[in-house]
């Protein structure tokens, strides 16, 4: 059974940085073959696509500049680096894995999801 576990969330002040990690495990999880995505959901708001990575990262314009995504296939881990955090970045951040194929910003296109990690940015 493939599993994703996020870590690295917490409480920070505006302007600070955080790096989230998402580690994959499971006997059949050939990590390098998966597109990895990050999503977030703030209280009372719809889930939002943060970005994804296959060989290269792909982020929507709204996320570029402060956020970056990388992966280490040997460690089966994907990272979300968040800089210059703002209170509006407060959300639960989820990683997800999609078997092969193209990048996708659609949560339902992914096959495995993590449980999420809370990021809170105080002003």
Rounded Cα gap, residues 50 and 40, in angstroms: 7
User: What pLDDT does 39 receive?
Assistant: 98
Rounded Cα gap, residues 103 and 38, in angstroms: 11
Tens digits of per-residue pLDDT, 54-91? 989 999 999 999 999 999 999 999 999 999 999 999 99
Residue 122 has pLDDT above 80, yes or no: yes
Neighbours of 6 (CB within 10 A): 22
What is the Cβ-side half-sphere exposure of residue 24, based on CA atoms within 13 angstroms?
Answer: 28
Tens digits of per-residue pLDDT, 2-57? 899 999 999 999 999 999 999 999 867 789 999 999 999 999 999 999 999 998 99
Under a CB-based contact definition with an 8 Å cutoff, are residues 105 and 52 in contact? yes
User: What pLDDT does 108 receive?
Assistant: 95
Closest CA to 4 of 45, 46, 42, 39: 39
Under a CB-based contact definition with an 8 Å cutoff, are residues 3 and 24 in contact? yes
User: What pLDDT does 2 receive?
Assistant: 87
User: What pLDDT does 101 receive?
Assistant: 76
User: What pLDDT does 55 receive?
Assistant: 87
């Amino acid at each position: 059974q493939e599993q994703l576990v996020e870590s690295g969330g917490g409480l920070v002040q505006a302007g600070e940085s955080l790096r989230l990690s998402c580690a994959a495990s499971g006997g059949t999880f050939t990590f390098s073959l998966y597109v990895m995505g990050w999503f977030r959901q703030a209280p009372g708001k719809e889930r939002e696509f943060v970005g994804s990575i296959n060989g290269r990262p792909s982020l929507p314009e709204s996320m570029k500049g402060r956020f970056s995504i990388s992966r280490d296939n040997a460690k089966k881990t994907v990272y979300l680096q968040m800089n210059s955090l703002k209170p509006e970045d407060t959300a639960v951040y989820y990683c997800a894995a999609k078997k092969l194929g193209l990048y996708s910003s659609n949560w339902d296109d992914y096959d495995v999801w993590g449980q999420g990690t809370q990021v809170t940015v105080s002003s």
